[in-house]
């Protein structure tokens, strides 16, 4: 049944899928917005693009007010071989900001980086701060697994209510896997959200105890859990999934310790 597939995805989040995707921890309280780019390198120019980004980020490192992008390579799914660049922790007003170095930076990007890019699709996402379990620090987390969920028309409230109930149950039951939900607010399809989970390595992707089902059964009872999940699964459909690898060198702005 469909809801059983959902259980597997929640328990083994590494088997889940544009950054949102994914995923830098934002320390200060803000609107939870991120600017995300899905980038495709020109054929045969992945290495050149990666080298250019390192140089460009070092150039931008001391520019006051500049967005700082975390870079990720996509390891699985239909976008394998592409990249995600994400700058998170923003307020809406941040996208209005202007700087005296804007023109210089644009020229540098156009000459150094743009020649290696075939396409870039931009979106703005928002992290749902009401649900999720997230580590205090992302140090040591190299991989991010993400899955898009498509909420069915007219089922938004039921989906949200069910998700909050699950989230509260998992938190109370000591669920050992980190996860976050990210919504695309501009540049994506309507009624979609993304489930994202950080992992330190591939071994960290194995299911942990207590499992999702163990926690739900203990809190609600086995029969009630089965009925609840069967009903909730009717509010959405799971979509594409992908695994991201954080690119530390490309994410450094020249001030890494």
Has residue 13 got a pLDDT over 60? Answer: no
Give the pLDDT confidence of 45-56 residue by residue, as tens digits. Answer: 999 999 999 999
pLDDT value of position 99: 97
Helix, strand or coil for residue 95? helix
Give the pLDDT confidence of 54-104 residue by residue, as tens digits. Answer: 999 999 999 999 999 999 999 999 999 999 999 999 999 999 999 999 999
Taken in order of first residue, the domains within the chain and their CATH numbers are 2-251 (3.30.70.100)
Spatial CA neighbour of 164 closest among 211, 131, 127, 193:
131
Has residue 15 got a pLDDT over 70? Answer: no
H helix runs in the chain, sequence order: 2-11, 46-60, 102-112, 156-172, 212-220, 222-232, 248-251
pLDDT value of position 28: 60
DSSP letter for each residue of 190-227? SSEEEEEEEESSSGGGS--SS-HHHHHHHHH-HHHHHH
Is the previous residue joined to 210 through a cis bond, with omega within 30 degrees of 0?
yes
152 touches 231 (CB < 8 A): no
170 touches 13 (CB < 8 A): no
- Supply the pTM of this predicted model: 0.86
pLDDT value of position 179: 97
pLDDT value of position 25: 41
């Amino acid at each position: 049944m469909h809801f059983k597939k959902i259980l597997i995805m929640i328990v083994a989040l590494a088997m889940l899928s544009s950054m949102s995707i994914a995923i830098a921890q934002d320390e200060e309280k803000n609107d939870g917005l991120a600017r995300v780019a899905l980038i495709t390198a020109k054929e045969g120019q992945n290495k050149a693009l990666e080298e250019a980004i390192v140089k460009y980020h070092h150039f931008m490192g001391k520019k006051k007010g500049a967005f700082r992008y975390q870079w990720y390579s996509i390891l699985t799914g239909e976008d394998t071989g592409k990249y995600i660049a994400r700058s998170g922790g923003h307020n809406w007003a941040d996208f209005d900001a202007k700087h005296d170095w804007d023109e210089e930076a644009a020229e540098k990007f156009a000459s150094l980086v743009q020649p290696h890019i075939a396409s870039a699709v931009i979106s703005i996402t928002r992290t749902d701060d009401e649900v999720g379990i997230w580590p205090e620090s992302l140090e040591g987390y190299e991989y991010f697994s993400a899955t898009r969920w498509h909420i069915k028309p007219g089922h938004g409230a039921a989906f949200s209510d069910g998700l909050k109930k699950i989230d509260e149950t998992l938190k109370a039951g000591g669920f050992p896997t980190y996860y976050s939900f990210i919504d695309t607010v501009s540049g994506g399809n309507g009624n979609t959200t993304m489930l994202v989970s950080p992992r330190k390595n591939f071994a960290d992707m194995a299911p942990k105890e207590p499992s999702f089902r163990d926690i739900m059964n203990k809190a609600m009872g086995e029969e009630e859990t089965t009925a609840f999940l069967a009903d909730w699964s009717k509010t959405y459909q799971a979509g594409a999934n992908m695994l991201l690898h954080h690119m530390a060198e490309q994410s450094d702005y020249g001030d890494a310790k």
